[in-house]
């Protein structure tokens, strides 16, 4: 029996690149997205691969629940939580409906799909969860002069990174692996749909992001950063996180005490 991967947001960009790459590694596919015609066009040139096309809008509870049911009922070998929306703007300017859409797609959906997929993977003693985040997850401390504000978007990516790291540790020794890939700016239509022209900015290809994620999994990385050549920089971040966590005390820090 072939391995089976479910890829969200497979109609374009990084999700499409995953869907095009995985059959060569022996995977059948379940591809989900909002645009059925694009998903069917993706499936058409893959005659030797079983491809199930599922139209689903992960900004809605109904869409999330329908895909979660597939994650729970199908013998998934891999789940790729890739679906995303941009909505880059300061929180005060972000309409409520767009804020809700962003958190549904980038926080609620990967959480609920992963929750649905993991029990089956555990019962089969094998499986991989791949979450797609981004380097903006590490940009929270940047001053306003350095990069535009996008609090909810950046916060959602940071959540994905922390969830992936914590869940990976939670599942250690079970045969189920969790990985999160954090690309920088990627040459997809992701920014174009928001009217952002990044054609003059050097960008990585979606195919290279997939290459990095799959290689990172083989290397044993929980977090891969396709555009970061010196991985010790990320290790320093993770080490500092743990150092701060370990340094906590029940005693009030002296800088907070009244002078």
Q: Is the Cβ–Cβ distance between 209 and 14 less than 8 Å?
A: yes
pLDDT digits (tens, 9 = 90+) for 96-140: 999 999 999 999 999 999 999 999 999 999 999 999 999 999 998
Taken in order 122, 124, 126, 127, the sign of the CA dihedral is negative
| 65 has pLDDT over 80 | yes
Per this entry, what is the length of the chain?
Answer: 259
What average pLDDT does the structure give for the chain? 91
Give the pLDDT band (50/70/90) at residue 194: low
pLDDT digits (tens, 9 = 90+) for 142-165: 888 876 678 999 999 999 999 999
Query: Is 159 annotated in the active site?
Result: no
Q: What is the pLDDT of residue 187?
A: 60
| 179 has pLDDT over 70 | yes
Query: Looking at residues 190-194, what average pLDDT do you find?
Result: 56
DSSP codes joined into one string, 41-90: HHHTT-TTS-EEEEE--TTSHHHHHHHHHHHHHS--SEEEE-------S-
Q: Could you write out the three-class secondary structure of 88-148?
A: CCCHHHCCHHHHHHHHHHHHHHHHHHHHHHHHHHHHHCCEEEEEECCHHHHCCCCCCCCCC
The reply to whether the predicted model has a pTM over 0.85 is yes
Least confident residue range of 12-16, 57-61, 104-108, 142-146: 142-146
Q: What is the pLDDT of residue 227?
A: 93
Tokens of 173: 């020794």
Tokens of 58: 């992960």
Sheet holding 27-33, edge to edge: 51-55, 27-33, 3-7, 78-81, 127-132, 176-181, 223-224
Domains of the chain, each with CATH number or no CATH = 3-256 (3.40.50.720)
Q: Is the Cβ–Cβ distance between 20 and 42 less than 8 Å?
A: yes
Other Cβ atoms within 10 Å of 232 Cβ, number: 9
What CA–CA distance (Å, rounded) separates 29 from 47? 12
Give the pLDDT band (50/70/90) at residue 71: very high
Residue from 27, 88, 153, 159 carrying the catalytic annotation: 153
Residue in the structure block whose two tokens are 């649905």: 116
| 14 has pLDDT over 80 | yes
Output the CA–CA distances (angstroms, integers) from residue 183 to 14, 115, 212, 227, 255, in the order listed.
10, 24, 9, 6, 37
What CA–CA distance (Å, rounded) separates 209 from 132? 10
Q: Is the Cβ–Cβ distance between 151 and 90 less than 8 Å?
A: yes
Give the pLDDT band (50/70/90) at residue 188: low
What CA–CA distance (Å, rounded) separates 83 from 64? 11
Output the CA–CA distances (angstroms, integers) from residue 197 to 16, 94, 187, 192, in the order listed.
21, 20, 11, 6
């Amino acid at each position: 029996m072939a391995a089976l991967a479910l890829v969200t947001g497979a109609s374009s960009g990084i999700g499409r690149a995953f869907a095009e790459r995985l059959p060569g590694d022996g995977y059948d596919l379940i591809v989900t997205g909002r645009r059925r015609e694009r998903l069917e066009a993706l499936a058409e040139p893959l005659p030797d691969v079983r491809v199930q096309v599922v139209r689903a809008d992960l900004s809605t509870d109904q869409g999330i629940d329908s895909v979660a049911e597939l994650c729970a009922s199908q013998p998934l070998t891999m789940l790729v939580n890739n679906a995303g929306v941009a909505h880059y703007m300061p929180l005060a300017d972000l309409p409520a409906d767009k804020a809700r859409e962003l958190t549904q797609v980038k926080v609620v959906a990967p959480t609920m799909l992963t929750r649905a997929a993991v029990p089956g993977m555990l019962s089969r003693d094998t499986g991989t969860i791949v979450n797609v985040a981004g380097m903006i997850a590490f940009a929270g401390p940047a001053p306003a002069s350095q990069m535009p504000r996008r609090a909810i978007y950046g916060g959602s990516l940071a959540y994905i990174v922390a969830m992936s790291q914590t869940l990976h540790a939670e599942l250690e020794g079970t045969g189920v692996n969790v990985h999160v890939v954090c690309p920088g700016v990627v040459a997809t239509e992701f920014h174009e749909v928001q009217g952002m022209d990044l054609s003059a900015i050097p960008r990585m290809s979606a195919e290279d992001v997939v290459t990095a994620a799959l290689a990172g999994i083989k290397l044993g990385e929980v977090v891969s950063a396709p555009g970061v050549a010196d991985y010790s920089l990320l290790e320093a971040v993770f080490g500092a996180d743990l150092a701060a966590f370990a340094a906590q005390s029940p005693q009030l820090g002296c800088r907070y005490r009244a002078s």
